[in-house]
Structure formats: C-alpha cells, structure tokens
Amino acid sequence: MNYYSLNKRAPISSFANAVIKGLAPDRGLYFPEDIKPLPKSFFDTIDNKSYETIAYEAIQQFVDPEIPQDILKQIVKETLSFDFPVVQINDSISTLELFHGPTMAFKDVGARFMARCLGHFNKDNNEEVTVLVATSGDTGGAVANGFLGVKGVNVVILYPSGKVSDIQEKQLTTLGQNIRALEVDGVFDDCQDMVKKAFLDDSITSKMQLTSANSINVARWLPQLFYFMFAYKQLHKQHDDIVFVVPSGNFGNICAGMVAQQLGLPVKHFVAANNANHVVTTYLENEAYEPQPTTATISNAMDVGNPSNFVRIQEIYGHDFERLKNNLSSYHYTDDETRSAMLELYQKYDYVADPHGAVGYLGCKDYLEANPNAHCVFLETAHPVKFLDVVENTIGQRVPIPEQIKTVIDKEKVATKIKSYQELKSFLLSTI
Ligand SMILES: *Cc1c(COP(=O)(O)O)cnc(C)c1O
C-alpha cells in the first residue's frame, strides 16, 4: 500500500517510510491510496475466525508488500495478547472494553503494533530512530510499554509535571532501558509545542531520525480498526443496526472505525462523544470548523481543541458535508454530566466506568432517543483505575487495583526535569 499526504504537496510514500517519518515532508498526514473492501465472505465467516485472523486479514493490504506475511502474523499475534470483551449494559447499550492490555488504555494496541513494525523496518538499519512524544497521560504509558526493548528505537516522552495521574506517571517513568521521560514544567500544550518545534528543527533532524507515536502515525492509527471488527463479531448475531459511540480526542480511534466501515464492516452510524472540547459537534451543526484552545476536564485524554485526525475523516467521506453527517453524529457533555453518568452506570447497572467511557454512555443515550431501534456500543477506552480519584469520589467505592498496575506503583520514578525547548534540544543532542 502506498500513502499520500493530505496536504498533497509531498511524494507518495511507502508504508515503511510513512511509519518511520510519521508526518509527510509537507506536514500533511499520510492516508492510504486505495482502501479495498474485504470480500463479503470475510464478514459471513467472521464467527469462525480468531481475532488474530480477523486482524491479520484486515490489516494486510495496508502493509503489503513491505512486511512479509509470516512476520505480520507474528506482529498481530504479539499485539493482541489480551481480551476485547463486549459487556452488555442494557438491551440497547453495550460497551466494548479496550482496557485489558498492559497499560490498561486502548492505546496499547496501536503502540504495540507500531513498535513492532518499526522494529522490523529497523532491524537491518544501523541508524537509530527516536520516537518523540508528548502525552497528557495515556499515550506515554502505552508507548513506553509498547516500545520497551525494541532494538534501534529510542523513546523520549514529555509529560506535564503534576498534570498526569500518579499511576500514569509511574507507567511512563519506571521502565528504563530505551525509554526516557522528561517532566516538563508546564501544561500539555507546552509539551506538544516543544515536540512540534523539535520536528521542525534542522539542527536536531539533521543529526537524528525523529518520529512520532501518536495517531498521526499510520502504524498507530490503523490497527485500531480491529476493535470495531471484534465488537461486530461478538454482537452481530443479536443485533442488526450497530452504532459505535467513541469517546474522542484526536479522533484517531473513530476514524479507524470508519476505515473498518470502508472495508465493508456493517456499521449503521458513528457517534463521537466529547467533553467540553467539542469543535466537531459544532462543525456538524454549522459546517464551521473552528479549532479552540483546550479546556481541562475529568476526561482529559479527550482535551483536544484541534483533533489531528479530523482531516482523515473528511478525506474518507470525500469532503462531502452531507455524506459525513449521514455517518457521524456528535454530542458533548460537561464534567457534571459525566460524573452523573458514572454514578448511573454504577447504581443502575453495577458497572464501573472511567470518565471517558461515561461520556460514551451519554452519547449512546442521546443517540437512542432519536433512534430507539439501534444497538449502541460505547468504547470503554481506559480502565477506571487510570482515573482513580475521580472514579472513587464519584461512586463512593474503592476500585480494586489490577495486577499490572500494582507492579508499576512500587517502582521508582526516573525523569529528567526540563523547563524550556533549549533543554529538550540539549537532552536530545547529548543523551540520545
Ligand atoms: C486517547 C484516548 C481517547 C481519545 O482517542 P482519540 O483516538 O484521540 O480520539 C479517549 N479515551 C482515552 C482513555 C484515551 O486515552
């Protein structure tokens, strides 16, 4: 598969180049040249296929011919070494739990897949690649874990001091080896700005190959399409009109679902569930796309004022506003509404949701009001333990700490404090 830049001013790229570079030279996001629908038999026989087979067959065209089949099979197998259960909430609402991976956030799949692709492309290469990533919480942990020990790849994670949860901080500062954490005196936007500046800084990029590990990278974005197929496999016998309600920040996850739909997955509709950061809700109302500064919320992985994958969504629907509106709705909610939803889920259905999942649940309720015959699946994107204080204070119950979190809590944090871009630059040039 070849990829083109959505800014249309860069050469066509191979999959390998798109993964290694992250962004095209014209600063555009890469997009697959041609998405071929899977044969109907793929969906007819989905009950007989394992998750690994589903994933392998769905992703193959996007990496072909650069990753040989046997290696791709191995990459998929290692990526998917945990469960993706659908849990029924009531007759009209289910949730797809995406938090059973090593860092208990849905980003594990994308990070693990990308790390293994990069490891494969780098195996005969003497030049190391440095993954530079800013995180507001979950990305850092998933990337650190996914890339741990991958040969030829260094990882540098910037996170805002005091602004990520204790567990999230431990997940990204305790691994060692090829993973380094920079604790930035500032907010997430400061981290993000420093990373962007580094990518544009010749004095750095002439000395090292930098790449990103957020959902602008095709190898982190595309494997997320597996989730929608896994949910379909579990639900299609009981329900016809499946609607996916996706708690969205950079819109990578929901956009991957739309790629699954392009591959032929029967999806009735998508709903983007948002917090106070709701440029897309507004866009669908009045066709005016106006990026905003981010507003801090309790569902902080969705605190994004200018979702990077929105351009990919527009490309999928041919920049046709009506077509997009036929496939996508969006609702947004306040923190108080989110807390009430967490409490309702707990009291009415005995289900403990994290704040992001709770926003998804609210999206289901609103969509069902107008479309009572649909079956809504909200994606539960993080384990409630990742947002322990909010969850425990809201439901008035302790959340048991899972094993994979316990092991990290006792480890010692190692991070380098930085205040300025200059300090990031000297760190990269002297340490890596
Ligand atoms: C990253 C993240 C999201 C948002 O996903 P996007 O692909 O950026 O839309 C939602 N919930 C959680 C818990 C996340 O970590």
DSSP structural state of residue 80 = T
Give pLDDT tens digits for 235-281. 999 999 999 999 999 999 999 999 999 999 999 999 999 999 999 99
C-alpha distance from residue 151 to each of 124, 125, 157, 222 (Å): 10, 10, 17, 23
Regarding the beta carbon of 270 and ligand 1, being less than 6 Å apart is answered: no
Instruction: Please give the distance, rounded to the nearest whole angstrom, from the Cα atom of residue 48 to the centre of ligand 1.
Output: 30
How confident is the model over 296-313, as a mean pLDDT? Answer: 93
Q: Given this model, what pLDDT does residue 189 score?
A: 81
Regarding the beta carbon of 247 and ligand 1, being less than 6 Å apart is answered: yes
| Pocket test residue of 103, 248, 281 for ligand 1, highest count of atoms within 8 A of CB | 248
Contact 363, 378 (CB under 8 A): yes
Contact 51, 100 (CB under 8 A): no
Instruction: Please give the distance, rounded to the nearest whole angstrom, from the Cα atom of residue 168 to the centre of ligand 1.
Output: 14
**What distance lies between CA 136 and its chain's CA centroid?**
13
Instruction: Please give the distance, rounded to the nearest whole angstrom, from the Cα atom of residue 139 to the centre of ligand 1.
Output: 8
Regarding the beta carbon of 221 and ligand 1, being less than 6 Å apart is answered: no
Strands (E), 149-201: 153-160, 179-184
Q: Quote the CA–CA distance of 339 and 347 in Å, as a whole number.
A: 12
Instruction: Please give the distance, rounded to the nearest whole angstrom, from the Cα atom of residue 302 to the centre of ligand 1.
Output: 6
Regarding the beta carbon of 381 and ligand 1, being less than 6 Å apart is answered: yes
Regarding the beta carbon of 250 and ligand 1, being less than 6 Å apart is answered: yes
Structure tokens at 224: 């997320």
Residue 388: which H helix or E strand, with range? helix 388-395
Regarding the beta carbon of 107 and ligand 1, being less than 6 Å apart is answered: yes
Q: Quote the CA–CA distance of 289 and 310 in Å, as a whole number.
A: 10
Instruction: Please give the distance, rounded to the nearest whole angstrom, from the Cα atom of residue 203 to the centre of ligand 1.
Output: 32
Contact 415, 181 (CB under 8 A): yes
**What distance lies between CA 42 and its chain's CA centroid?**
25
Regarding the beta carbon of 382 and ligand 1, being less than 6 Å apart is answered: yes
Mean pLDDT value across the chain: 95
pLDDT confidence band for 124 (50 / 70 / 90): confident
C-alpha distance from residue 216 to each of 22, 258, 288, 309 (Å): 7, 15, 23, 7
Q: Given this model, what pLDDT does residue 165 score?
A: 85
Instruction: Please give the distance, rounded to the nearest whole angstrom, from the Cα atom of residue 247 to the centre of ligand 1.
Output: 7
Give pLDDT tens digits for 24-56. 999 899 999 999 999 999 999 999 999 999 999
Give pLDDT tens digits for 351-368. 999 999 999 999 999 999
Question: Taking the model in full, what pTM does it have?
Answer: 0.95
Q: Given this model, what pLDDT does residue 319 score?
A: 97
Q: Given this model, what pLDDT does residue 123 score?
A: 84
Pairing outcome for strands 179-184 and 416-418: parallel
Q: Given this model, what pLDDT does residue 193 score?
A: 87
Whether residue 422 is predicted with pLDDT greater than 80 in this model: the reply is yes
Regarding the beta carbon of 301 and ligand 1, being less than 6 Å apart is answered: yes
Contact 181, 157 (CB under 8 A): yes
Q: Which amino acid would we find at residue 319?
A: H
Instruction: Please give the distance, rounded to the nearest whole angstrom, from the Cα atom of residue 184 to the centre of ligand 1.
Output: 21
Instruction: Please give the distance, rounded to the nearest whole angstrom, from the Cα atom of residue 40 to the centre of ligand 1.
Output: 31
Q: Given this model, what pLDDT does residue 125 score?
A: 77
pLDDT confidence band for 136 (50 / 70 / 90): confident
Integer distance in angstroms from the first to the last C-alpha of the chain?
32
C-alpha distance from residue 4 to each of 24, 34, 142 (Å): 8, 10, 27
Regarding the beta carbon of 253 and ligand 1, being less than 6 Å apart is answered: yes
pLDDT confidence band for 188 (50 / 70 / 90): confident
Give pLDDT tens digits for 149-162. 998 899 999 999 99
- Kindly report whether the peptide bond that precedes residue 65 is cis, defined as omega within 30 degrees of 0: yes
Those residues whose C-beta lies under 8 Å from the C-beta of residue 299, and which sit 6 or more positions away, are 247, 275, 335, 338, 355, 356, 358, 359
Comparing 227-231, 301-305, 390-394, 413-417, the range with the smallest average pLDDT is 301-305
Q: Which atom of ligand 1 is nearest to the CA of 386?
A: 13
- Kindly tell me the burial class for residue 221, based on how many C-beta atoms sit within 10 Å of its own C-beta (0-12, 13-18, 19 or more): buried
Residue nearest to atom 14 of ligand 1 (CA): 301
pLDDT confidence band for 104 (50 / 70 / 90): very high
SS (H, E, C) 250-311: CCHHHHHHHHHHHCCCCCCEEEEEECCCCHHHHHHHHCCCCCCCCCCCCCHHHCCCCCCCHH
Residue nearest to atom 2 of ligand 1 (CA): 301
How confident is the model over 220-246, as a mean pLDDT? Answer: 97
Structure tokens at 69: 């089949």
In percent, how much of the chain has pLDDT > 70? 100
Q: Given this model, what pLDDT does residue 163 score?
A: 86
Instruction: Please give the distance, rounded to the nearest whole angstrom, from the Cα atom of residue 249 to the centre of ligand 1.
Output: 5
Q: Which amino acid would we find at residue 242?
A: I
Q: Helix 107-121 and helix 138-147: axis angle, to 10°?
A: 40
Q: Given this model, what pLDDT does residue 39 score?
A: 98
Q: Given this model, what pLDDT does residue 173 score?
A: 96
Residue 15: which H helix or E strand, with range? helix 15-21
pLDDT confidence band for 192 (50 / 70 / 90): confident
Candidates 318, 256, 310; CA nearest to 58 is: 256
C-alpha distance from residue 206 to each of 54, 201, 285 (Å): 41, 8, 45
Beta bridge partners of 379: 96
Give pLDDT tens digits for 68-91. 999 999 999 999 999 999 999 999
Regarding the beta carbon of 211 and ligand 1, being less than 6 Å apart is answered: no
Q: Quote the CA–CA distance of 46 and 265 in Å, as a whole number.
A: 11
How confident is the model over 191-211, as a mean pLDDT? Answer: 92
Contact 255, 272 (CB under 8 A): no
Q: What are phi and psi of 169, to 5 degrees?
A: -65, -45
Q: Quote the CA–CA distance of 399 and 386 in Å, as a whole number.
A: 10
Q: Given this model, what pLDDT does residue 432 score?
A: 78
Whether residue 423 is predicted with pLDDT greater than 90 in this model: the reply is yes
pLDDT confidence band for 166 (50 / 70 / 90): confident
Instruction: Please give the distance, rounded to the nearest whole angstrom, from the Cα atom of residue 265 to the centre of ligand 1.
Output: 22
318: left (phi over 0), alpha (psi -120 to 50) or beta: left
Residue nearest to atom 11 of ligand 1 (CA): 381
pLDDT confidence band for 127 (50 / 70 / 90): confident
